[in-house]
Structure 1
């Protein structure tokens, strides 16, 4: 990208999707990154759990990146730092709880001592390159969430982060309304804002109301209770622990990420008065009505504790008919099928499954429409830039901002380079963006052929063909065919003979020169097999051809 002398904004992730939040603010040729998060993979990426933003644009000019500012400790805002920081190598700024969580994540990597983490408090001013920065505390479903104020020569930007208005958040303070009002009175050029719940009317609800409801619900359960929620929702974990204690139950935490979050919360002063947490190995010694498990797996993550428990794969936790599992979390869009499969698996085992459809067990951590309107009344920006939402959320956020009289409401997609100032906001360039995934050998682009091959295997199966030839290309034994997931066994048995004959005929018809070339033989075999099977175009099993050539000496030895 050529040098620039204006104020710019680029989403590497988070615009048009929920997750993978990674944003760049550019000022006179240098950059500040806000958040560096992960997203959860869907069935378009078989074998993959998380996705990461493609940082190629900022990697190529890493010397111009002055730092990363983390708004809060959710995975979709900080989770990519352990995987990608080495590609950037810059300092990180965050508040105490996010720092504790990040250090715990980095402790499991080789770069734990390399990442410079600067811990700042809300309201404390700090400078990152040409940006004068400060955090403003906002309520969210995790402690120490912050909006970020960026003061520049072109004007002030408010990056809201994830937030809500909760009169009784239980853990942590309420949103700092007084400071937000003061920021608005002083003048704001642009608001870059959370769009997740803008389609939902009203307000998001209070964590205190959930505590009352969960306390009654847990007390009413006759046998074991499993409660699963986001590991980072410290207020919800505290609610579950206090409700368990009130109902005479012992508390057992199952899942490494949840234990890590609890430790981080205690490190910075949260969860001071919770009942003791017992070792999960002791649960089987107690009556069923004395047990409450707090488990990871609210989104059906493949390696989570709850998924292993539901599949009877957990070494220490067993559930029995009549036990209850409470899903105290909203389903992330795209996870519906995974979660419903998990629900059904539990129900078939006689487990009572309780979700927000059945009972009041969850409130969102994001602002609904009335709360978004209130933020605009406080901040009064000239420019609204919706982020943190799918396309339908961003469009609704844009319409709302226009209805509220915001002068410019700008829609962008990942990769759009938006000039915020001077002048009217305008998309002036486009940069390459994409997704990366972690494989055994390192990072791989999500569009790599590896994943197309996996999808074909999942959808169409594979057929293994084994050929034994002599050096001249004559077939020494009938071809061997093994279908894996490509055909129903009885049907394939009926047609196998004619398919083998077709393959043999095709090889025998090859020229003397061509039949000596293994790659040309493989291609002829694939074509002959597909023609013999008469498959429709939408059915394309992968055909793997293994060729064994026996030399004259080997054949002579075998004949002896």
Structure 2
């Protein structure tokens, strides 16, 4: 395949803007050509979710300043698969890039659905690509390799260049019996290995785990047994995007004589996309949640969102008995066919405790074997990938530092050279010379979707919320006459503070006393300066609160001089 426009200097570079040093927020740039004539291809454009240090933030988006400033040289965005941490930022970030987006059919359905929520949605040029296809995106000779994962139509990306070939695995696993969908195309990996792989840029999520991944066929068999022996109502929660798992569950429900009810918007969105893409078997039917009350308790299975303890998801509402249609009682069962993502443990345990308090059976494992399988490769599968592709170098990606370093050590143990220290914002020269990291100082960071706004991660409002959650808030209103006297009594309003101190005195009175002391400590002629009064009152109130409470709340002071 001939690629036009390739420069005389065939330099090949790799630049992660997200996804190396963290799990999620995947954005990877590949560049062909010298710095003054370089064309870029973006692989994936995903989100991640906020942690406890980012209160009120809805979604974390990647900071794409670097490529926004060079977007005239961006050939396109290629999406490896439709998980949110790989595709979730496209809809919001596309107006800053304005290039074609290359996706498979299933991912295209989900992307178009999301774009309907944005005014620019109809402007986005979506190019549907077939799995296993080879095609050009600008200077890039791209060859897709089908891989198994936990969502349909996943792809590794092989890029041929005069400076060497690179294999970007995306998310993958080897599953010889995936129950539904295609296994990873090992024969093609072997052919690419014969052709030559300069750099294998590879998923590290399970690089600390020995063995090989459980197959979806084993999970499907075990779920069928578990569902078949339940007597009351059954709810099953899993990652909604795992279409193969949803099909296996629906088949198990059908075998047990149960009707499937979809509960939660994500479940409906994914199943409808799978149906429209021709991935959902026609004989498997389902009902909406409003049908749940009319189905006999031993004849229903609810597929529900919320496996990670999300507060607004269907399972959380069911656990609290607050769902308008889906009610569970003693003798009913909830099956967790999912792994708890690190950081979500407390939320998941909270929901499980709420279910247990109501006499609802919780099933997280079965004596027959596993009822969940990861979509990422363990060490046995990494070894298999090395043998098939025979890379000169391995660059670990898609992992936290501990995963990346473990992967590098593991690859080196197989006699493969690695490039350690690759992190977000590090420009890597892959060829034609020996791979190395350039000290490029490329800006990276995070953006926050906060309600209807997108904020820089350094915006003080998030820091203030974090402080509010720990220390509370005091608002003070002070009115001073031109003579320097109080024109009215100060007003104090508090939120998030104890009502009384250790002696039983109202905290509001302690705050008021601090306000009076602060103002009276200022010479009367200087009380015409609102800024001076504001600063004095703020310091005095916070110091008083620290004295009697041990914490310094945020304090806002409004001063009026009449």
Match of 1:460 among 466, 471, 492: 471
Equivalenced residue count is 548
SS at match of 2:122: coil
- In 2, the alpha carbon distance for the partners of 1:536 and 1:213 equals 59
Deviations, residues 105-130 of structure 1 (Å, cap 9, x unaligned):
21232222211111121232211121
Q: Which moved more, 1:118-127 or 1:272-281?
A: 272-281
Match of 1:445 among 433, 453, 456: 456
Cross-structure match for 1:433: 444
Rate the CA distance shift 1:245–1:385 in 2: closer, same or farther, 3 A: same
Cross-structure match for 1:558: none
Shift of 1:210: 0.7
Match of 1:337 among 346, 349, 352: 346
Deviations, residues 224-274 of structure 1 (Å, cap 9, x unaligned):
111111111001101111111111211110111221111111122112244
SS at match of 1:458: helix
Tell me, yes or no, if structure 1 residue 194 matches structure 2 residue 203.
Answer: yes
Shift of 1:493: 2.9
- In 1, the alpha carbon distance for the partners of 2:98 and 2:228 equals 50
- In 1, the alpha carbon distance for the partners of 2:543 and 2:550 equals 14
Rate the CA distance shift 1:20–1:243 in 2: closer, same or farther, 3 A: same
Rate the CA distance shift 1:74–1:498 in 2: closer, same or farther, 3 A: closer
Shift of 1:27: 0.9
Deviations, residues 431-476 of structure 1 (Å, cap 9, x unaligned):
1111111123521112221110000011111122233433444124
Aligned pairs for 1:27-426 within 5 A: 27-28=32-33, 29-356=38-365, 360-426=370-436
- In 2, the alpha carbon distance for the partners of 1:149 and 1:498 equals 68
Rate the CA distance shift 1:356–1:522 in 2: closer, same or farther, 3 A: farther
Rate the CA distance shift 1:214–1:466 in 2: closer, same or farther, 3 A: same
User: 4+ residue runs of structure 1 moved beyond 6 angstroms?
Assistant: none
- In 2, the alpha carbon distance for the partners of 1:62 and 1:164 equals 33
Gap runs ≥5 in structure 2: 1-8
- In 2, the alpha carbon distance for the partners of 1:459 and 1:49 equals 20
Q: Is the 8 A contact 1:136 1:179 kept in 2?
A: yes
SS at match of 2:302: strand
Cross-structure match for 1:9: 14
- In 1, the alpha carbon distance for the partners of 2:494 and 2:136 equals 62
- In 1, the alpha carbon distance for the partners of 2:347 and 2:295 equals 32
- In 2, the alpha carbon distance for the partners of 1:111 and 1:296 equals 29
Kindly report the root-mean-square deviation, in angstroms, between the aligned alpha carbons of the 2 structures. Answer: 2.1
Gap runs ≥5 in structure 1: 552-560
Q: Which moved more, 1:296-305 or 1:243-252?
A: 296-305
Q: Is the 8 A contact 2:202 2:397 kept in 1?
A: yes
Deviations, residues 289-336 of structure 1 (Å, cap 9, x unaligned):
222111111112233222232233332222223322222111122222
Q: Is the 8 A contact 2:542 2:553 kept in 1?
A: no
Q: Is the 8 A contact 2:499 2:507 kept in 1?
A: no
Shift of 1:9: 0.7
Q: Is the 8 A contact 1:383 1:410 kept in 2?
A: no
SS at match of 2:395: strand
- In 2, the alpha carbon distance for the partners of 1:532 and 1:301 equals 39
Q: Is the 8 A contact 1:203 1:368 kept in 2?
A: yes
SS at match of 2:40: strand
TM-score by length of 2: 0.93
Rate the CA distance shift 1:520–1:68 in 2: closer, same or farther, 3 A: same
Rate the CA distance shift 1:76–1:296 in 2: closer, same or farther, 3 A: same
Rate the CA distance shift 1:209–1:528 in 2: closer, same or farther, 3 A: same
SS at match of 1:163: coil
Cross-structure match for 1:26: 31
Q: Is the 8 A contact 1:478 1:500 kept in 2?
A: no
